[in-house]
Amino acid sequence: MPHFPAPVASRLPGVGTTIFTVMSRLAHECGAINLSQGFPDFNAEDLLFERVAHWMRAGHNQYAPMAGCLPLREAVAAKVEALYGTRYDVESEITITAGATQALFTAVTACVRPGDEVIVFEPVYDAYVPAIELAGGTPVRLQLAAPDYRPDWAVVATAITPRTRMIMINTPHNPTATVWTRADLDHLAALTRNTGIVVVADEVYEHIVFDGATHASCAAHPELADRSFVVSSFGKTYHITGWKVGTIVAPRELMAEFRKVHQFNVFTVNTPVQLALADYMTDASRHLGLAAFYRAKRDFFRDALAGSRFELLPSRGTYFQLARYTGISALGDAAFCQHLTREVGVAAIPVSAFFADGRDDRIVRFCFAKNEATLSAACERLLRV
C-alpha cells in the first residue's frame, strides 16, 4: 500500500469563513439589503476608468517595479507631505501594495518572530490576529468599551512587556467609527519611547473624519513616524474596493524589511491601475472632499432612523454606524443579525465578531456607503422593527 502523509494540521484552527462573507452571502440568499460588508454600491467617476483604459492601450501591461510605479509613489509622497508634513522618500520609504490587508500582513510577517507579543485593540478587524499567529507571535488583546471605545493608556502600559514587538492601531476605527486624537498618539509615543516596539497604523479611513475633527496620523507625529508602518487604501478613498490597491509608508530601515517579504508574497501590483491612480491623484479635491461626501450619507442615514427603536452611537469617522438594539430584542447580536437579514430584509454585522471572547454588548454595525435610495429602502424596513 502506498504511504500518504498525514493531513496537514491547520495553522489557524480557530478561523472559519469571515463574518463579512457569511453575512453578505446570507443577504444575497435572502434578497436582503446588504448594509453589512463595507463596500459602496456606487461607482467611481468615469475619468478613473478612462485613465486605466488609456494606460492599457498605451502598452503599460507588464510588471511594474516591485515597490510600485514611480508616478504613483511620487503622488503618495506629495499627498502625505501636504496633509501630514512628513516627506517620505519615494525610492526607499513608499511601497504600493495589493490592498491594505496585504500591507498589514506583510508588515507583521516582516517584523514578528515566534515568541513576540503584538498588542491589538478589540473590537479588532479580523485580519490582524491571523497574521500575528501565522508569524508565530502572540496577540495581546485589549478591549475598548462601548459606547466610547477609547483606549485606556494606563492599561496599555501594563500590557507592554519585554516581549512586545508591535502595537497595531486603527484610526478612524472599524467597526466602532471612533477617531483617535493627537493626545492618544502622544500617549502611544510615550509608551514606545526608547523601546524596539514597531507600530502598525491602519489608517485606511484617513479621509473620512467628521464634524470638524482632524485625522491624527502616525505619519504626522515625528516620534511615531520613526517607528511606524502607516497603511492607506485607494479602495476606500476612491470607491474601488475590488481593485485591491493600497499603500504603505515607513522609515527606510523598516521598509527594507517589508520589501524583503513583499517581493515574494506579491512582488508587484497591477500596472495600468497604478498609473491611472497617479493621474487621478493630481486633483486633491477627490480625497479632500471625501469627508463631506460621507458626512452627508451618515446624516441621511441617522436622520432616516431617528424614529426607530435603535440607539445610534456616535459615528465620528469611517462609513460605519453602530446601533444598540436592547430596546428591540433580547437576542444575542449574531442571532439578531440573522433575524434582521431573514425577517426584516437588512443585513448588518454583529460587533461580537470582532472580539475573541464573543463579548456581546447587543450592538450591530451598519455600512452607509450606499446610494440614498438603498439607505432609504433599508431604513424603511428598519423602522418597522
Q: Dump the DSSP string for 187-210.
A: HHHHHHTTS--EEEEE-TTTT-B-
Residue 102 to residue 68: CA distance in whole angstroms? 14
Same domain for 312 and 223, yes or no, is: no
Q: Which domain holds residue 255?
A: 46-283
Same domain for 60 and 151, yes or no, is: yes
Q: What are phi and psi of 384, to 5 degrees?
A: -85, -5
Question: Is residue 13 domain-resident?
Answer: no
Residue 323 to residue 38: CA distance in whole angstroms? 16
83: its cell numbers: 496633509
For residue 317, give the 3-state DSSP assignment.
Answer: strand
Residue 112 to residue 116: CA distance in whole angstroms? 6
For residue 169, give the 3-state DSSP assignment.
Answer: strand
- pLDDT of 361: 97
Same domain for 79 and 64, yes or no, is: yes
Total domain count, the chain: 2
Question: Is residue 298 domain-resident?
Answer: yes
* 253 Cα distance to chain centroid: 24
Place of cell 504511504: 3
Same domain for 265 and 342, yes or no, is: no
Same domain for 318 and 202, yes or no, is: no
User: H/E element holding 81?
Assistant: helix 70-84
Same domain for 170 and 313, yes or no, is: no
Identify the CA nearest to 288 among candidates 238, 353, 339: 238
- Burial class of residue 32, CB neighbours in 10 A (0-12, 13-18, 19+): buried
Per-residue pLDDT of the chain (385 residues; tens, 9 = 90+): 566 676 788 999 888 888 989 999 999 999 999 999 999 999 999 999 999 999 999 999 999 999 999 999 999 999 999 999 999 999 999 999 999 999 999 999 999 999 999 999 999 999 999 999 999 999 999 999 999 999 999 999 999 999 999 999 999 999 999 999 999 999 999 999 999 999 999 999 999 999 999 999 999 999 999 999 999 999 999 999 999 999 999 999 999 999 999 999 999 999 999 999 999 999 999 999 999 999 999 999 999 999 999 999 999 999 999 999 999 999 999 999 999 999 999 999 999 999 999 999 999 999 999 999 999 999 999 999 9
Residue 51 and residue 279 in contact, taking contact as beta carbons nearer than 8 Å: yes
Residues with Cβ within 8 Å of residue 68, at least 6 apart in sequence = 94, 95, 96, 247, 268, 269, 274
**Of the residues 283, 309, 342, the one at which a domain ends:** 283
Same domain for 353 and 268, yes or no, is: no
Question: Is residue 222 domain-resident?
Answer: yes
- pLDDT of 194: 96
Strands 164-170 and 198-202: parallel
Question: Is residue 155 domain-resident?
Answer: yes
**Of the residues 239, 263, 283, the one at which a domain ends:** 283
Identify the CA nearest to 38 among candidates 355, 376, 354: 354
- On whether the pTM is more than 0.75, the answer is yes
Same domain for 300 and 160, yes or no, is: no
**Of the residues 226, 251, 283, the one at which a domain ends:** 283
Residue 90 and residue 135 in contact, taking contact as beta carbons nearer than 8 Å: no
Same domain for 235 and 325, yes or no, is: no
* CATH code for the domain in which residue 377 is found: 3.90.1150.10
Question: Is residue 9 domain-resident?
Answer: no
* CATH code for the domain in which residue 125 is found: 3.40.640.10
Same domain for 39 and 50, yes or no, is: no
Same domain for 302 and 262, yes or no, is: no
